[in-house]
């Protein structure tokens, strides 16, 4: 079986969270007959071994110092070498700033196609079949490839990572290739955020246009703080109105979240919003319209004015301590 190559990304001496998810996705494909899982990382042998602990059968550590630039053009020859050496017919990358560049560059270099921002993957008849949003989130498109490698970028939070297993072992091969750097990265600025990160929160409380005004988000913050492990997100309509930061938008053009509990307050449940949170384990809708889509898809719904429901909810949660 030719197999799968995961292009993992380093982060602060370790692996980025989405790299863990890619390895989890690759293991699922492998179980469906996709072949062995190899991982590529522009980093140390220790980082390569970490990819094995998270699900790879073998790994490539690309160690050329020029790769520190982190751009697609310098990484391309190294990833190409890993594809050739592993014989992989499937290449998975994150829908990250690197994956957005490197995915199309790999497809172009190999005269094949790339499917971007995929949310589902499966092996059918020995080939990769992926699903991604189309027509602004109003439809879902499935793609297959005629040629190889089948290159796909994966939307964050679409797959669960596996727990690390340090006892897993596999071969680590060093690659020295690097491309010419024509782009110079002058600096990287970390987005500052306070509190729990939306993508990592066990509970997400999100507010929509139905809140009526910006001050209502203070009420949602009180609910989130009573729940202790919650972050506050918003629909695009609420963000467009300037009520909540765009970086906290959930949906097709915002963040993907899959918390244990998603509390949607005054959000109608448009397909573009659902695209970012339908993977939530439990959805609770608070909406005054019993026919709202969010109410229909939720596990529990409270059909009433949020102004009555949310303060009462906060009070009851506080009683639980
Ligand atoms: C290309 C494209 C990309 C998009 N990407 C995104 C995206 O990433 N994320 C996103 O969210 N949207 C996205 N949208 C927009 C999306 O189509 C919807 O317009 C948007 O999600 C609606 O936001 P909303 O549910 O907050 O508002 P509305 O649709 O206006 O819904 C408000 C809800 O609040 C309820 N309500 C009103 N008052 C109260 C009250 N007092 N108490 C309780 N309930 C109340 C109403 O019953 C209603 O269900 C995108 C659209 C396009 C075309």
- The verdict on residue 103 lying in a domain is yes
DSSP state at residue 161:
P
Across-strand partners of 120? 131
| 273 CA to centre of ligand 1 in angstroms | 7
Inside any domain, residue 188:
no
Give the DSSP letter string of 58-85: EEEEE--GGGGG--HHHHHHHHHHHHHH
Give the model's pLDDT for residue 237.
Answer: 98
| pLDDT tens digit sequence for 140-152 | 999 999 999 999 9
What CATH number does the domain containing 150 carry? 3.40.50.620
Q: Give 45's Cβ-side CA count (13 Å radius).
A: 7
Max distance between CA atoms of the chain, in angstroms, equals 63
Q: How far is the CA of 236 from the centre of ligand 1 (A)?
A: 7
pLDDT of res. 198: 92
Given ligand 1 and candidates 236, 238, 275, 284, which is best to mutate, with the most ligand atoms within 8 Å of its CB? 236
| In a shared domain, residues 271 and 166 | no
State the pTM of this model. 0.81
Residues 223 and 298 in one domain: yes
What is the pLDDT averaged over residues 226-245?
A: 96
CA 276 to ligand 1 centroid distance, Å: 13
Task: Judge if the beta carbon of residue 276 lies within 6 A of ligand 1.
Answer: yes
Does ligand 1 lie within 6 Å of residue 155's CB atom?
Answer: no
Torsion angle of the four alpha carbons 67, 70, 73, 79, in this order, in degrees rounded to the nearest 10: 70
Domain with residue 296: its CATH number is 3.40.50.1220
Domain span at residue 254 reads 198-319
Strands 10-11 and 14-15: antiparallel
Residues 233 and 164 in one domain: no
Report the nearest-CA residue for atom 1 of ligand 1.
Answer: 136
Cα 186 to Cα 4: distance, rounded to the nearest angstrom: 33
Domain count, the chain: 2
For the beta sheet containing 282-287, the strands, ordered from the edge strand earlier in sequence to the opposite edge, are 230-234, 203-207, 261-265, 282-287, 300-303
Taking residues 61-69, report their average pLDDT. Answer: 93
% of the chain at pLDDT higher than 90: 85
Average pLDDT on 25-47 reads 97
Q: Atom of ligand 1 at shortest distance to CA of 306?
A: 42
CA of 169 to the centre of ligand 1 (A): 48
pLDDT average, residue stretch 151-158: 94
Q: Are residues 168 and 276 in the same domain?
A: no
DSSP string, 30-50: IIIII--EEEEESS-HHHHHH
Report yes or no on 13 lying in a domain.
yes
């Amino acid at each position: 079986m030719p197999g799968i190559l995961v292009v993992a990304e380093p982060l602060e001496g370790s692996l980025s969270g989405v790299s863990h998810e890619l390895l989890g996705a690759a293991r699922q494909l492998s179980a469906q007959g996709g072949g062995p899982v190899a991982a590529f990382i522009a980093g140390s042998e220790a980082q390569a071994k970490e990819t094995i602990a998270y699900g790879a059968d073998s790994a490539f550590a690309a160690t050329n110092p020029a790769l520190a630039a982190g751009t697609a053009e310098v990484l391309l020859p190294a990833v190409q070498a890993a594809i050739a050496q592993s014989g992989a017919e499937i290449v998975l990358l994150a829908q990250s700033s690197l994956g957005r560049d490197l995915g199309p560059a790999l497809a172009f270099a190999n005269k094949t196609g790339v499917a971007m921002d995929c949310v589902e993957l499966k092996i059918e008849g020995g080939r990769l079949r992926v699903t991604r949003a189309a027509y602004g989130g109003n439809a879902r498109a499935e793609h297959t490839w005629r040629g190889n490698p089948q290159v796909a970028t994966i939307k964050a939070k679409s797959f669960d990572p596996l727990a690390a297993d340090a006892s897993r072992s596999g071969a680590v091969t060093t690659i020295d290739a690097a491309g010419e750097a024509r782009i110079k990265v002058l600096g990287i600025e970390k987005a500052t955020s306070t509190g729990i990160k939306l993508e990592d929160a066990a509970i997400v409380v999100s507010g929509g246009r139905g809140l009526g005004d910006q001050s209502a988000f203070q009420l949602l913050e009180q609910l989130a703080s009573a729940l202790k492990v919650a972050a506050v997100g918003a629909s695009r309509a609420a963000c467009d109105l300037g009520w909540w930061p765009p970086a906290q938008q959930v949906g097709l053009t915002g963040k993907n979240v899959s918390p244990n509990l998603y509390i949607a307050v005054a959000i109608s449940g448009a397909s573009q919003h659902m695209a970012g949170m339908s993977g939530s384990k439990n959805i609770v809708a608070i909406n005054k319209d019993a026919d709202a889509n969010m109410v229909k898809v939720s596990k529990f719904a409270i059909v009433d004015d949020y102004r009555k429901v949310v303060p009462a909810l906060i009070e009851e949660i506080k009683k639980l301590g």
